[in-house]
Amino acid sequence: MPAPLRQPEPQRIQQDLQDLALLRDPDLAGWSRPTFTGVERESRRWVAARMRATSLDVHVDGIGNLIGVLPGQGAGGKAIVVGSHTDTVEGGGRFDGTVGVLGALEAVRLLEESGIKLRHDLRVVDYFNEEPNRFGLSCLGSRALASNLSPDHLATVDEDGATLAEALQSQGLDPADIPACAWSANEVLASLELHIEQGPILEQQGAGLGVVTAIAGIARLRAVFKGRRDHAGTRPMALRQDAGCAAAGTVLAIEAIGSSGADAVGTVGEIRFTPEATNVVSEEALLTAEFRSSDAGWFGLAREQLEQAVERESRRRGVHGSVLWLPPEPPTAMDPRLSELIGRSIAGLGHDFLRLYSGAGHDAVQLARLGPAGMIFLPSKDGRSHTPEEWTDLADIALGVHALAASIVQIDGWEP
């Protein structure tokens, strides 16, 4: 008879959340810890210390993943992987990603305090750079683990012409070490990520927990428009080659394209005009955007329509427009057998749950390349995320941690 699993300690979780929230960029809104910044490096040192205090063997791999290992009692075999990320978008909140890392640490405490000894190693991971960076890439750490961070990725340039490889080197990371970070499929029994929903469904349905069925695919792009610089007061409207207006028309096209699928979305994240002056007709404009959907077939249509829109808006104004598509991520299904196991674990604790789809991307997309992957969602107040107003109640976090720990115990005896 296995030992009963203890309840989480909400005060302990809250203290961890509060302590980590103190590590933020004071010059940015919200709780900002963008990758490639000093405050993000400081926060990861804090997480490493917390891991060691939780009896984990800690190391940092060649891409920057922070990995704490709780050795299992069995001889060798596959590992159970849990965790999330602690980097944030600029102006982000206190719960996105963070709950999955600190919740995993609390789950380890529950296992130890309950006297539960796992047969398999348990790896707790704070994945490096989950949020999209200035190179238009996300999930760098989990990509490296899944052998999905290629030389082409590393050669991607930002707006200043610097490469991703150079940015990693500026952080003391050697791109030559990245291949050695990769895990093989035969060393991962299952991966599990606890995360806030970042949407309104659980709150609207009155559900305390969600089991994720699939994660949206993402296609990101940069569109560049090159026109002609002229005096804004003397150049008649009909004679202008205004790059900014071509970009603006494309913004509206992206909104329309993103509204054309059942669960599709399209978002422009940034737009820049050159020069930035109200008395000069724009010579150049750059916009970055993304499309998301659970329908892999929809992306081909979206791509075709976007390229047509860029050509149309540019031709109308005598502007040259071009599109650069960044490496895409296809929609990813969570493992149905693992999702069933998670559901049984939640039910065994006496709680209901909802099955739902994730419109947000997660490290679980990359871990699914290595073996069965699953996610547990927690409610987000008003469905808000990537904002300082992001909020999840402590009681819901504690419930999610309990479900995470119970699922770990069930996975330890699993034979997929």
> What does the pLDDT read at residue 2?
57
CB 221 within 8 A of CB 290: yes
Q: What is the SS3 assignment for 322? A: strand
Location of structure tokens 């994720």: 212
Which helix (H) or strand (E) segment holds residue 191: the answer is: strand 188-196
**CATH assignment, 217-325:** 3.30.70.360
* Per-residue pLDDT, 1: 44
Angle between helices 394-412 and 336-348 (to 10 degrees): 120
314 φ, ψ (degrees, to nearest 5): -75, -45
For 10-216+331-412, CATH gives 3.40.630.10
Residue 123 has φ and ψ, to the nearest 5°, of -105, 120
For residue 16, the surrounding DSSP H or E stretch is helix 10-21
**Tally of residues, the chain:** 416
Q: What's the pLDDT score for residue 142?
A: 97
Long-range Cβ contact pairs of 9-16 (< 8 A, separation 24 or more): 9/106, 9/109, 10/394, 10/395, 10/397, 10/398, 12/106, 12/109, 13/102, 13/103, 13/106, 13/394, 13/397, 13/398, 13/401, 14/394, 16/50, 16/102, 16/105, 16/106
Relative to beta strand 188-196, strand 217-226 is unpaired
Closest CA to 217 of 127, 160, 292: 292
Beta strands in 244-395 (DSSP E): 265-274, 280-281, 284-293, 320-325, 332-333, 354-358, 373-378
Residue pair 163/157 in contact by the 8 Å Cβ criterion: yes
**What are the tokens at 194?**
């606890």
Query: What does the domain layout of the chain look like in residue ranges?
Result: 10-216+331-412, 217-325
The neighbouring-strand residues paired with 215 are 332, 358
Return the H-helix or E-strand segment holding 307: helix 298-316
Cα(51)–Cα(208) distance, rounded to whole angstroms? Answer: 27
Non-local (6+) Cβ contacts of 77 within 8 A are 119, 120, 121, 189
> pLDDT tens for residues 18-38?
999 999 999 999 999 999 999
DSSP string, 51-102: HHHTT-EEEE-TT--EEEEE--SSSS--EEEEEE-----TT--SSTTHHHHH
Q: What is the pLDDT of residue 75?
A: 64
Three-class DSSP category at 407: helix
| Residue 265 confidence (pLDDT) | 96
Q: Tens digits of per-residue pLDDT, 114-145? A: 999 999 999 999 999 999 898 888 999 999 99
Question: Which pair of tokens denotes residue 12?
Answer: 């302990």
Cβ neighbours, 10 Å, residue 230: 17
Tokens in use for 150? 């290629």
Per-residue tens of pLDDT for the chain, all 416 residues: 456 899 999 999 999 999 999 999 999 999 999 999 999 999 999 999 999 999 999 999 999 999 999 999 986 689 999 999 999 999 999 999 999 999 999 999 999 999 999 999 999 999 999 998 988 889 999 999 999 999 999 998 888 889 999 999 998 999 999 999 999 988 999 999 999 999 999 999 999 999 999 999 999 999 999 999 999 999 999 999 999 999 999 999 999 999 998 889 999 999 999 999 999 999 999 999 999 999 999 999 999 999 999 999 999 999 999 999 988 889 999 999 999 999 999 999 999 999 999 999 999 999 999 999 999 999 999 999 999 999 999 999 999 999 999 999 999 998 76
Contact 189, 118 (CB under 8 A): no
Question: Is 126 strand, coil or helix?
Answer: strand
Letter for the amino acid at 366?
Q
Give dist(CA 67, CA 53) in Å, integer: 14
Q: Are strands 79-84 and 57-60 parallel, antiparallel or unpaired?
A: unpaired
